[in-house]
Amino acid sequence: MHNRAVKKTIYFISVSTAYPIRSLHTAPAAHQNLGYPFQNSKTLDQLKQIHSLAIQKGLALDVSAYSKIISFCCAKDAGDMDYARHVFDTILEPNVFLWNTMIKGYSQTCYPEYAIVLYKKMLERNVKPDNYTFPFLLKGFNRDFPLECGKGTHAHICKFGFDSNEFVQQSLIHVYCLSGQIDMARLVFDTSKKSEAVTWNTMISGYNRMGQFEESRKLFKEMEKRALPTSVTLVLVLSACSELKDLDAAKHVHQCIQDGRIESNLTLNNALIDIYAACGQVNVALGIFISMNNRDVISWTALIKGYINAGQVDKAQRYFDLMPRKDSVSWTAMIDGYLKTNRFKDVLLLFREMQAANVEPDKFTIVSIITACAHLGALELGEWVRTYTDKLNIDCDIHVGNALIDMYFKCGDVEKATRMFHRMPQRDKFSWTAMIVGLATNGRGREALNMFAKMLNVSETPDEITYIGVLSACTHSGLVNEGRSFFISMTTQHGIVPNVVHYGCMVDLLGRAGLLKEAHKFIKDMPMKANTIIWGALLAACRVHKDVEMAEMAAKQLLQLEPENGAAYVLLCNVYAACKKWDNLRELRSVIMERGIKKTPGCSLIEMNGGVHEFVAGDTSHPQSQEIYLKLEEMTENLKLAGYLPDTSEVFLDISEKEKEKAVSRHSEKLAIAFGLLSSGPDVVIRIVKNLRMCTDCHHVAKLLSSIYERELIVRDRTRFHHFRQGSCSCKDYW
């Protein structure tokens, strides 16, 4: 009796008077803000002091005092599980509440497997779990956690008769969704009473997580008939409908809020901005943004995304500049805006600004930067980004890996791309597709097809992009029969209906093999209208196989679709030149002059010593221009010694032969090569990215230079790579 009173006193002093429960719970946050390494040490120490005082004085604590200590130690983010365990182990017969609390505590740590260990111990000690036990236990399960644990726990839930408890069901649905077993989640959901909004919300959130947005929308419609949605429901359904670009859903939900049926909040408003932005209604998004009394970084970022979607990158930039605080997501959204509008140099500039602002990039940022490097052919910078990624301990996940594979290929480094692929712990269909497309465009058709066979072997399902890679592998390596059979099997074996790009690949394939009539028949039999790319492919084939008649027909079709298409005129000129039809060439040139047709200026990029250098034909704007032209003269001398004669047949302009030769000698890729030779050591591979097709003369010169200077040259043009080594090219002179 006396003893009991003392215990009460201790409890009273420790919690209610000396250290009121409020302060015990609020203190950790304050410490956290100050950045203390051990957020809760002070209050936890106080608790421990009281505990040790009690032990010193020989005062026994009652169960409720132990419970307080243990629940405090098990509190989220501030706990000390070792201490909790220490106290817990001194209790002879812990009740189910204490077991639950310990399980909850471990579930929140990074060692949730201890929760399972404890649960098993609890059963060994003949304590029956109650309806609180399983939600706590399941909370510790996450994506990385073995699925068997989820299944085993489910069996226990049934055995102990909690499978009809809605809280338990919610936890089960959540865990099954996290581990990707959406069907199992649905099974539990279907057996549930579904009396609570949370049950519906959990299921909808699961569908969202799996990208099954249709299902989310369907479930919401069903829910509206049977249960009252909450603001969380609306956020979830907006998120799904944003992906589906369902403007009606946006308006419907918006109406629910405006009718006052559901109270709005910051998150919900953000979700509304996002969906209107995704549906191209950036002005409505702006209206919501303006009407909000408080906004966070997500509100701003969602609005900026809206302007980027609408193609108004500069307006997005203006809002971006106004942001009171920017996080890595906002920076990445803005960077992506430049990426999507092909402003790759702006991508790199913004990335530097981001670093100057001391915002750490995350893996999303890294993917964007690597993609920009890929477009610019900036291998050095890409490599630096990769090292930087390691340094910042950014998880090199499957997306980063895929981006790197693509970058290495787009920089012409087949070996590094291949090494990256083999080093990846996990691969998805995008990794395989990147390999197939990359090998194909780099002239390794056979290897690309081997890759494809391996992909099917590991049961990865190819998609339409994979087949573009497969077909272009056949094209680049002249494998006509293989190409024909892949074109059929893509439909019969994988149910992929060929689109206009696949037909384009086939025209390319047949055209390259000289089967111009068959290619033309292929176009005529297409189920869709041929576009300029299709006619362009045929026209290009006519140039190589010198078929004037077919070329004129293809050019006529092309120009009907796009009268101002300069490339079509250029190609036809090239055909006339190749066939020595000088009268036709002269006539066509005067037509071009009359109509004022403009040819896209050729432009070559080269990355050298940390910068990307850009050249156009006859460029004198480079700071080292004088040296470059001196190098060019030296190159020309060496070429002449090797028996080189300029090939001016593809010169577009009507000028004298001497001037044509001069024009050809100053093509952008030649300037870039000159710059590359004079600013790099003898073993450095020269990589150039060209926006158009290489002209015949430049191609010939590059081959000669690769042997004269004993240098590897890699030129990426619009559609393929040219690896120049010891006087020959990987494209085998078909391009």
Partner DNA sequence: ATAGGGTTAG
SS (H, E, C) 30-84: HHHHHCCCCCCHHHHHHHHHHHHHHHHCCCCCCHHHHHHHHHHHCCCCCCCHHHH
Decide: is 463 part of the binding site for DNA (CB under 7 A).
no
Decide: is 199 part of the binding site for DNA (CB under 7 A).
yes
CB 240 within 8 A of CB 272: no
Which range of residues in 61-69, 432-440, 660-668, 686-694 is near DNA by CB under 7 A?
61-69
Decide: is 266 part of the binding site for DNA (CB under 7 A).
yes
Q: Is 166 left (phi over 0), alpha (psi -120 to 50) or beta?
A: alpha
Looking at 39, 43, 101, 472, which residue binds DNA (CB under 7 A)? 101
Nearest residue (CB) to DNA, 354 versus 635: 354
Which element (helix H / strand E) includes 459? Answer: none
Interface positions, 65-94, toward DNA (CB under 7 A): 67, 71
Which range of residues in 182-190, 294-302, 479-487, 529-537 is near DNA by CB under 7 A?
294-302
Q: Give CA–CA dist 614/376, Å, rounded.
A: 10
Decide: is 431 part of the binding site for DNA (CB under 7 A).
no
Nearest residue (CB) to DNA, 328 versus 707: 328
Decide: is 262 part of the binding site for DNA (CB under 7 A).
no
Helices 147-159 and 166-178: angle between axes, nearest 10 degrees: 160
Looking at 171, 192, 574, 665, which residue binds DNA (CB under 7 A)? 171
CB 490 within 8 A of CB 496: yes
CB of 500 to DNA, least distance (A): 23
Decide: is 198 part of the binding site for DNA (CB under 7 A).
yes
Nearest to 694 by CA among 658, 734, 657, 656: 734
Site size toward DNA, by CB under 7 A:
69
Decide: is 231 part of the binding site for DNA (CB under 7 A).
yes
Q: What is the pattern of x (binds DNA, CB under 7 A) and - over residues 104-143?
A: x-------------------------xxx--xx--x----
CB 408 within 8 A of CB 422: no
Q: What is the pattern of x (binds DNA, CB under 7 A) and - over residues 583-602?
A: --------------------
Q: Position 222: which residue type?
A: E
Decide: is 7 part of the binding site for DNA (CB under 7 A).
no
Which residues, at least 6 apart from 683, have a Cβ–Cβ distance to it below 8 Å? none
Looking at 279, 313, 400, 417, which residue binds DNA (CB under 7 A)? 400
Which residues, at least 6 apart from 248, have a Cβ–Cβ distance to it below 8 Å? none
Looking at 192, 216, 239, 418, which residue binds DNA (CB under 7 A)? 239
Distances in Å between the alpha carbon of 303 and those of 34, 201, 506? 33, 26, 43
Which residues, at least 6 apart from 617, have a Cβ–Cβ distance to it below 8 Å? 601, 602, 663, 666, 667, 668, 671
Q: Are strands 611-616 and 713-716 parallel, antiparallel or unpaired?
A: unpaired
Looking at 39, 43, 153, 208, which residue binds DNA (CB under 7 A)? 208
CB of 135 to DNA, least distance (A): 5
Decide: is 317 part of the binding site for DNA (CB under 7 A).
no
Nearest residue (CB) to DNA, 399 versus 589: 399
Looking at 41, 212, 230, 649, which residue binds DNA (CB under 7 A)? 230
CB of 465 to DNA, least distance (A): 13
Q: Give CA–CA dist 729/427, Å, rounded.
A: 32
Decide: is 233 part of the binding site for DNA (CB under 7 A).
yes
Q: How many residues does the chain have?
A: 735
CB 588 within 8 A of CB 551: no
Supply the DSSP string of 517-570, one letter for each residue. HHHHHHHHT-SS---HHHHHHHHHHHHHTT-HHHHHHHHHHHHHH-TT-HHHHH
Decide: is 153 part of the binding site for DNA (CB under 7 A).
no
Residues β-bridged to residue 611: 608
CB of 528 to DNA, least distance (A): 28
Which range of residues in 234-242, 434-442, 637-645, 716-724 is near DNA by CB under 7 A?
234-242
Q: Give CA–CA dist 107/127, Å, rounded.
A: 19
Nearest residue (CB) to DNA, 96 versus 187: 96
Decide: is 169 part of the binding site for DNA (CB under 7 A).
no
Interface positions, 326-345, toward DNA (CB under 7 A): 327-330, 332-333, 336
Nearest residue (CB) to DNA, 215 versus 274: 274
Decide: is 64 part of the binding site for DNA (CB under 7 A).
yes
Which range of residues in 118-126, 394-402, 503-511, 709-717 is near DNA by CB under 7 A?
394-402
Nearest residue (CB) to DNA, 329 versus 544: 329
Nearest to 411 by CA among 45, 88, 721, 704: 721
In this structure, the dihedral spanned by the alpha carbons of residues 239, 240, 244 and 248, taken in order and rounded to 10 degrees, is -70
Helices 231-243 and 266-278: angle between axes, nearest 10 degrees: 20
Helix/strand/coil for 143? coil
Decide: is 96 part of the binding site for DNA (CB under 7 A).
yes
Q: Are strands 686-690 and 713-716 parallel, antiparallel or unpaired?
A: parallel
CB of 403 to DNA, least distance (A): 7
Task: Report the Cα 150 to chain-centroid distance in Å.
Answer: 30
Decide: is 267 part of the binding site for DNA (CB under 7 A).
yes
Looking at 11, 97, 114, 160, which residue binds DNA (CB under 7 A)? 97
Looking at 186, 305, 520, 667, which residue binds DNA (CB under 7 A)? 305
Decide: is 698 part of the binding site for DNA (CB under 7 A).
no
DSSP code at position 691: S
Nearest residue (CB) to DNA, 104 versus 667: 104
CB 94 within 8 A of CB 131: no
Nearest residue (CB) to DNA, 153 versus 165: 165
Decide: is 95 part of the binding site for DNA (CB under 7 A).
yes
Q: Give CA–CA dist 370/68, Å, rounded.
A: 52
Q: Tokens at residue 78, please?
A: 């501030």
In this structure, the dihedral spanned by the alpha carbons of residues 98, 101, 106 and 107, taken in order and rounded to 10 degrees, is 140
CB of 217 to DNA, least distance (A): 14
Helix/strand/coil for 347? helix
Say how many C-beta atoms besides its own lie within 10 A of residue 32's C-beta. Answer: 13
Q: Tokens at residue 536, please?
A: 């362009």
Decide: is 612 part of the binding site for DNA (CB under 7 A).
no
Decide: is 281 part of the binding site for DNA (CB under 7 A).
no
Nearest residue (CB) to DNA, 42 versus 429: 429
Looking at 288, 367, 420, 554, which residue binds DNA (CB under 7 A)? 367
Decide: is 242 part of the binding site for DNA (CB under 7 A).
yes
Q: Give CA–CA dist 80/82, Å, rounded.
A: 5
Which range of residues in 38-46, 298-306, 378-386, 411-419 is near DNA by CB under 7 A?
298-306
Nearest residue (CB) to DNA, 68 versus 613: 68
In this structure, the dihedral spanned by the alpha carbons of residues 253, 258, 263 and 265, taken in order and rounded to 10 degrees, is 80
Site residues (vs DNA, CB under 7 A): 63-64, 67, 71, 95-98, 100-101, 104, 130-132, 135-136, 139, 165-168, 170-171, 174, 196-199, 201-202, 205, 208, 230-233, 235-236, 239, 242, 265-268, 270-271, 274, 296-298, 301-302, 305, 327-330, 332-333, 336, 362-364, 366-368, 397, 399-400
